[in-house]
A and B are shown apart, each in its own frame.
Chain A
Amino acid sequence: MTENQNGQSGIPQRGEPGSPYDSVDATERQEPFAGGQAMSAGAAGAHGAGSPEDIAPSTYAAGKSVRQTVGIKRREGGSYVFPAFDDHHPPEKDLIDDCVHCGFCLPTCPTYVLWGEEMDSPRGRIYLMNKALNEEPMNDQMVRHWDLCLGCMACVTACPSGVQYDKLIESVRGQVERRYERPADAKAFRELIFQLFPYPNRLRVAAAPLKLYQRFGVGDKLRKAGVMKVLPKRLRAMEALMPMLTKQQEVPEFTPAVGEKRLTVGFIKGCVQRVFFSEVNAATVRVLAAEGCDVVTPKAQGCCGALSVHAGREEEFQAFARKLIDEFEDAGVDLIIINAAGCGSTLKEYGYLLRDDRAYAEKARAFSAKVRDVSEFLQELGPVAERHPIPVAAAYHDACHLAHGQGIRKQPRQTLKQIPGMEVREIKEAEICCGSAGIYNMIEPEPATELGDRKATNVLNTGARMVVTANPGCMLQIQASLRRMGHSMPMAHPMEVLDASIRGESIETLLMNR
């Protein structure tokens, strides 16, 4: 399937006329695309994120990371693929045609906010998709601009025309992953991530030495000694994100409802959540039980595949998804509850993502129909457990995959506001991503850092005592950003706050160790 690089030369055919994108004006120049002969194969060392260290910060004000997007002198592999897309789920023409080029998406797009460039906006990325669909080869520039998309889906919220950018970028990512040769180092790093994060057991093993590392303050010592600076920047980014590890809290396979049983729900533990934030899972299960649910948590459950699908690793994703569906098949649950935003939005898309799979398409649809984010579910269910006061001002951070991906904004706020004494503060630029975006802050550390700083500043400006958010990635990112800026703030999942309230914990206990 990979007629890759230097393969098909010649003049691409114009796409059949169809969309507004295709209307050709007399003034449009038709430059025949010069074949592959001038381009060298291979892309070694090509499009890693540009290094900010070698540019004087005074040369531009638009942000340190801008170098990696445009610029004459950036390094490139010169590789390209033509035709850009193969027949296996290319971005759908009809979905592209929904875009009327109005630009309403621009100010909510994190990369447009950082760099102010058309190609790094949803509108521009769709424009490039259309060009790739019709006439242009997939080349370094295009891939770079698609790669730089965080997948936060703020544009989907902003779009009045209902463009399904999520579907478009997902199909493009699959194509890029299959057909485009990344530089060796970028490829290796991605591989490392995908051999680690979707596997809680491996992640736990990897995290074990981390515990020692943290206990003895190795990171600080290395930082002081300047050793950190010589680590590759992506590993540095990974190191900076690592949270302080706490004692693992296992969720039992069955937790009975407290008092009268209202429903039986399944619970998905997540991967990062279960290793780094096991206390969030424990709290969630306690809350669900307190609200009258029998909670079934299949022990063997693996990754939901969200990270894979967002990176275009389609087969890997499908294997994960099928496995998870099987694990819940005989669980006998009414609904399936998830407390991590990123996982939740993917779980709700299983039906679409497995649409080609004859054996699983129907099961996947049924599975997705049962999935609820925990805040969404609790608001549907209505509270029964008594809430004790927690007098604190908390800044609520919208995780993109909750707010934009699932349209869940009111429910978590409502959940918090039902706690007596709780004051929920809004963060300025709430719709802009914090830069976490799945694995983005590890593979694109510079823009992620800038977005993280921006978010952390806005969080600090609320004057709240703690941050509440429903996604482990956002927690890690905001924590790391605050730390980098010399601040720290207690951070919690809405379920931890609610659990504390139901259990009548004191505010001090809640704020401690977070």
Chain B
Amino acid sequence: MASRALIDYMIGILGPEGVISEREELRAYECDGLMNYRVIPELVVLPETAEQVQQIVRYCHDEGIPFVARGSGTGLSGGALPVEAGVLIVMSRMCKILEVDIPNQRVVVEPGVINLWVTREVGPEGYYYAPDPASQTVSSIGGNLAENSGGVHCLKYGFTTNHVMGAEVVLPDGTMVNIGGGKAPDPLGYELLGAFVGSEGTLGIATKITLRIMRVPEKVRTLLAAFKDTEEAGGAVSGIIGNGILPAAIEMMDALAIEAVETAVHPGYPEAGAVLIVELDGPAAEVDHQFEQVKQICEENNSSEIRIAEDDEERALFWKGRKAAFAAMGRISNDYIVQDGVVPRTELGKVLRRISELSQEYGLRVANVFHAGDGNLHPLVLFDNDKEGEAEKAEDLAGDIVLTCLEHGGSLTGEHGVGRDKMKYMPKMFTTDDLNTMQLLRCAFDPHQVSNPGKIFPTPRLCGERPGRYKMHPVQKAGLAENF
């Protein structure tokens, strides 16, 4: 139970309707999109203005109370997992689109604004917001910023970081600053925005975000190609990229994933070992020309069936299956773990083969849904929690998949963030010096480690500790404290 002083202070700022302190209600916030980890927060607060966020953060900082920001709670790495005895700051009520500036191609939003709302807002003007994570109908811009979310179109258009122009940020000590630029594109000094985007809530809380919007391309064409297996589909992917074509998206799904989405949203995919969805966008002449090339490459790689979306409705149907893929796993399996490893595109075939071997070794099914163009895999390890030991087995298998990605020169996570989930693998990917360097940045922003502690980094390190080889702390040296 939160202390009376804490509750009273928060009520003073937010009014009673902005503070949640009842145990049952707090429990609804004990996890985000990743359910493997749960922590009941001490208190949940729902601010409606940047000033309120600032006051909350300042109080927490001064009282040494850790805090975690949460948007829609859809993250898949436990980034918004509450911290014990900490305050959860929920941004869902800060959901206004503050400014639409079409001539300068920018939109200013509050962090709780849902990704797709931006495109809905500017769509009639012929613009859109490019980053489109599969959760775009529900995930918040604030959360996208924290996790540097990608999406199916980031192959061509980049991640969230490429589309954020500036942000108003409450730092972990309650200072409010503006980082990045506004209308002017290239700010001077350190690129703080680059450090902030993707910092998973450890460097502060964004309260106002300026996004770049893009002109809707003149033409969009989408095809769906079926293949015997993921290897042949992978061949087509290499062929497309190798020919110098940069599609807006190339997505692959394997047989198991196809089965799940067919049960869930009936997109009418062909029965196949793998399907590719390839989308091209840009000037009509270029798109039409390259579209023929893509078709040909798919055929050369033995595609058994190619479907071309005739209209927006059909295109939406192709994508519907892909975007619902994770949640659709609920149809074919009680439980699943989703991984987010990245491998160099050229290693795709080898890694997929290894995943399939691992799947057989462990006796668990693995569905594959991924951004084939940039090698961002999303293997979904399916298991049944009711069966004794299966959860642990699934956990191990997922871990082995991540390690496989690393062995092939890849990375832990493409877009879901490290969060709580993948921090244990960080030392496999980074050296101690690498991690220490990151810690230096974190400590500069948050010396007392109050902002989303216990995420990203495997071992908590105090900011007074010097990175590098162990040296005695001055306090120890003076004999005032001992190290246990």
Contact = CB atoms under 8 A, between A and B. Distances in A.
Contact of B17 (A71, A131, A142): A71
Contacts of B126: none
In this complex, the interface size class of chain A, counting residues with CB under 8 Å from chain B, is 35 or more
B432 interface: no
Interface string B439-483: 000000000000000000000000000000000000000000000
Interface in B57-115: 72-74, 84, 90, 92-93, 95, 112, 114
Nearest to B336: A100
Given A25-B38, A60-B48, A67-B17, A19 B334 contact: yes
A118 interface: yes
B18 A60 contact: yes
Nearest to B30: A28
A142 B385 CA distance: 26
Nearest to B388: A17
Given A116-B112, A136-B24, A103 B264 contact: no
B15 A59 contact: yes
Contacts of A24: 38
A124 interface: yes
A124 B48 contact: no
A116 B95 contact: yes
Contact of A117 (B20, B27, B40, B331): B20
A437 B335 CA distance: 33
B41 to A, nearest CB: 11
B122 to A, nearest CB: 15
A490 interface: no
Given A116-B112, A128-B24, A160 B385 contact: no
A70 B25 contact: yes
A161 interface: yes
B23 interface: yes
A107 B46 contact: no
A4 to B, nearest CB: 18
A293 interface: no
B203 interface: no
B27 A161 contact: no
A55 B74 CA distance: 32
B264 A160 contact: yes
B385 A22 contact: yes
Interface string B132-175: 00010111000000000000000000000000000000000000
Contacts of A145: 25
Contact of A127 (B28, B328, B334): B28
B5 to A, nearest CB: 13
A159 interface: yes
B35 interface: yes
Interface string B244-268: 0000000000000000000111000
Nearest to B82: A27
Interface residues of B, number: 59
Contact of A141 (B7, B25, B327, B328): B25
A69 B46 CA distance: 13
Interface in B1-49: 7, 11, 14-25, 27-33, 35-40, 46, 48
A61 B18 CA distance: 10
Nearest to A97: B334
B33 A103 contact: yes
A131 B48 CA distance: 29
A131 B24 CA distance: 8
Contact of A116 (B7, B14, B15, B46): B46
A25 B73 contact: no
B472 to A, nearest CB: 31
A57 to B, nearest CB: 11
B429 interface: no
A284 B112 CA distance: 45
A118 B16 CA distance: 16
Contact of A17 (B33, B72, B263, B386): B386
B391 interface: yes
B330 A99 contact: yes
B46 A117 contact: yes
Contacts of B21: 72
A29 B386 CA distance: 22
A61 to B, nearest CB: 5
Contacts of B46: 62, 116-117
Interface in A101-129: 101-104, 106-107, 112, 115-119, 124, 127-128
A62 B35 contact: no
A477 interface: no
B330 A162 contact: yes
Nearest to B323: A160
A124 B73 CA distance: 11
B92 A27 contact: no
A509 interface: no
Contacts of B92: 112, 116-117
B297 interface: no
A18 B21 CA distance: 28
B364 interface: no
A139 interface: yes
B291 interface: no
A142 B38 contact: no
Nearest to B70: A118
B88 to A, nearest CB: 10
Interface string A130-142: 0100001001011
Contact of B331 (A20, A21, A162): A162
A55 B32 CA distance: 32
B159 to A, nearest CB: 21
Interface string A24-37: 11011101000000
Contact of B16 (A19, A62, A71, A106): A71
12 contacts: A23-B36, A25-B39, A27-B37, A67-B16, A71-B15, A74-B16, A98-B330, A102-B326, A104-B135, A118-B29, A119-B28, A163-B330
Which 6 A-B residue pairs are closest in the complex by CB-CB distance? A161-B330, A116-B92, A71-B16, A160-B327, A160-B324, A103-B74
